[in-house]
Amino acid sequence: MRTTDSKANRLFIVLAGFFLTNALLAEFVGAKIFSLEGTLGVAPVEWSLLGVSGNLNFTAGVLLWPFVFVMTDTINEYFGRRGVQFISWVVVAFICYAFAAAYVTIALAPAGFWVDANRALGVPDIQQAFAQIFGQGLWIIGGSVVAFLVGQLIDVVVFHRIRRATGERHVWLRATGSTAVSQLVDSFVVLYIAFVLGPQKWPVAQFLAVGTVNYIYKMLAAIALIPLLYLVRRLIKSYLGKAEAERLEAEAAAD
């Protein structure tokens, strides 16, 4: 029997593909900083914490990371600890490969007509714009990759500890609880590596304040997506059938 003939295998491929796609996109679109208030069309919200103040400005990647959390919990639910760890390492390898490829393309000499055509469209230096978007600093890339991997490895441990304590009840609790712990670490690790250890040398107050605001946003997004988690579970059970879904869940819980 071919690998793709199994519904469980096809399910893992789809979940892993969606996981990988969202993680890669989040890394690259994260170069854009957006205003949440401006996007929603509301007055700026000025927060103040530890003597640091600011508005609700986030990287565009925060729009996609919550869907990665949902995929993490879903893979955890049906394919267990080893399933999440495997795809997490694969994603890290692919992210590193993608950024290496981006740096190679930045180094290519731009065609003159491409530069001129984009200048006519209002982009004075398309080569510089391309490099600015795709060539994120190595400190930011390193911080993001390390934070992602550490967060994923913590997530899978917390998820299964909650699952062992509660059994098959309270899906939302193990999903949100594991995200709460893993993203607490992720939110601060990425900022510490990228902006404290990195060339910007943020002061401790700024590091803690920005990390806290980012963490609160991620948790609110994770809570808002709880209905999506249940919808995905329902769709998976409908696709696999009750018996196969329960078999995968039992194997994942024993992993």
- Tokens 């040398």 correspond to 201
**253 sits in which H/E element:** helix 242-254
Query: Pseudo-torsion of CA 217, 220, 224, 225, nearest 10°?
Result: 70
How far are the Cα atoms of 63, 156, 185, 201, 223 from residue 59, in angstroms, in the given order?
8, 25, 18, 19, 19
pLDDT digits (tens, 9 = 90+) for 127-150: 999 998 888 888 889 999 999 999
Q: Nearest-CA neighbor of 252 among 68, 109, 84, 93?
A: 84
Is the CB of residue 77 less than 8 Å from the CB of residue 245? no
pLDDT digits (tens, 9 = 90+) for 16-58: 999 999 999 999 998 899 999 999 999 998 999 989 999 999 9
The pTM is what? 0.88
Percent of the chain with pLDDT over 90: 78
Task: Parse the chain into domains and list their residue ranges.
Answer: 3-254
Output DSSP code: residue 63.
G
User: What secondary structure does DSSP assign to 126-168, as a single string?
Assistant: HHHHHHHHH---HHHHHHHHHHHHHHHHHHHHHHHHHHHHHTT
pLDDT digits (tens, 9 = 90+) for 196-253: 998 889 999 999 999 999 999 999 999 999 999 999 999 999 999 989 999 999 898 8
